[in-house]
Amino acid sequence: DAGITQSPRYKITETGRQVTLMCHQTWSHSYMFWYRQDLGHGLRLIYYSAAADITDKGEVPDGYVVSRSKTENFPLTLESATRSQTSVYFCASSDVPRTSGYEQYFGPGTRLTVT
């Protein structure tokens, strides 16, 4: 299917476990982003990537690791999950900003609960 997909859609894990959230896009967009959405905070950027093998920190990167070996995939790993990482995670992609009008396309989200 064309577009941007995330998996799993729902995940429950225990404190201290490693969790990986997957994101896949079929548009060959250069840029990909990970956000978390929490009540009272809106969306906050965790990490972003300008191209394969190029990643950079956003506003709230602590406790997260990303990689981007292929243009279409941008997994987000919580190395040792904590309760404060309970959130809804959104992946987004964008073409080179100056040619796309800066529009980002969002996936459906992953609801993660850390117990």
Partner 1 sequence: GNSVTQMEGPVTLSEEAFLTINCTYTATGYPSLFWYVQYPGEGLQLLLKATKADDKGSNKGFEATYRKETTSFHLEKGSVQVSDSAVYFCALSDNAGNMLTFGGGTRLMVKP
Task: List interacting residues with partner 1 (CB under 8 A).
Answer: 31, 33, 40-45, 48, 50, 58, 90, 92, 97-98, 101-104, 106-109
Q: Are 27 and 35 in contact (CB under 8 A)?
A: no
> If DSSP codes are grouped into helix, strand and coil, which group holds residue 112?
strand
Residue closer to partner 1, measured from CB, 40 or 69: 40
Nearest CA-CA partner of 11 in 25, 21, 24: 21
User: Minimum CB separation from partner 1 for residue 97, in Å?
Assistant: 3
Residue closer to partner 1, measured from CB, 62 or 98: 98
Q: List all residues 6 or more positions away from 81 whose beta carbon is below 8 Å from its beta carbon.
A: 13, 14, 15, 16, 17, 18, 19, 112, 114
Residues in the chain, how many? 115
User: Minimum CB separation from partner 1 for residue 5, in Å?
Assistant: 10
Q: Are 91 and 23 in contact (CB under 8 A)?
A: yes
Residue closer to partner 1, measured from CB, 19 or 107: 107
Residue closer to partner 1, measured from CB, 23 or 78: 23
User: Minimum CB separation from partner 1 for residue 67, in Å?
Assistant: 19
User: Minimum CB separation from partner 1 for residue 114, in Å?
Assistant: 21
